[in-house]
Amino acid sequence: MERNNKIEKNYMSPEQIPTSDRGLDKYLLDLGLTREELAGKRILDLGSGTRRFAKEVEDNGIVADVFSVDPIFEDPDQKIEKGADELAGQLAETDRPSITKKTVAALGENLPFKDNSFDFILAEYSLPAHAISEKQIDEFFQNSMRSLRVGGELRFCPPVNLQRKELTAYVERKLTELSKQNQYEVIKSGQLTVIKKLQ
């Protein structure tokens, strides 16, 4: 409870974790993907912010199943009230049934999906970048790996923690641990990290 309250306080405060509005092209660039690679896939946008990614996938005629997960969807008005002024307009732009029905208010460290659910989990400037504890990072990786299908990939950017410098080294240690297990392949390239579930 204590931990969740702290997380909530953190993400609801716009100065701590702004709910940004990156779109399809920026995701593709940062996460090393093409439009073709998204087609036909079941995708989790973990820490989706405004859901602009899901909206632009649809607007560009890419047929993919995109789920947007972000804790702000529990009570977006609270974040807007706390001073995220542009947020109301940005959320209104993605407020259409095809997107809202695949919007889930949840935390990346406690994903409410069945095991082996996704081809891609995309974490663009969300976790582990904005994690505030080692436990949260552990649970983020456990939940992501559990929720990926065999052959699926977690792709995240950036590789550093933006909340507490020392957590960057912890993320690196976790990646080393994962890469030593036969079940995963870890690929790091610039700002991008890919973890592929092999079995």
Residues that bind ligand SAM (CB under 6 A): 7, 11, 17-22, 46-49, 70-72, 107-109, 124-127, 130
Identify which of residues 70 and 119 has a Cβ nearer to ligand SAM in the complex.
Answer: 70
Provide the minimum distance between the beta carbon of 182 and ligand SAM in the complex, in angstroms, as a whole number. Answer: 28
Identify which of residues 70 and 153 has a Cβ nearer to ligand SAM in the complex.
Answer: 70
From the list 155, 190, 144, the residue with the least C-alpha distance to 33 is 155
Provide the minimum distance between the beta carbon of 20 and ligand SAM in the complex, in angstroms, as a whole number. Answer: 4
Identify which of residues 22 and 196 has a Cβ nearer to ligand SAM in the complex.
Answer: 22
Return d(Cα 171, Cα 181) in angstroms, integer. Answer: 16
Provide the minimum distance between the beta carbon of 111 and ligand SAM in the complex, in angstroms, as a whole number. Answer: 9
What residues contact residue 131 under an 8 Å CB cut-off, 6+ apart?
109, 137, 140, 161, 163, 167, 171
Return d(Cα 111, Cα 84) in angstroms, integer. Answer: 25
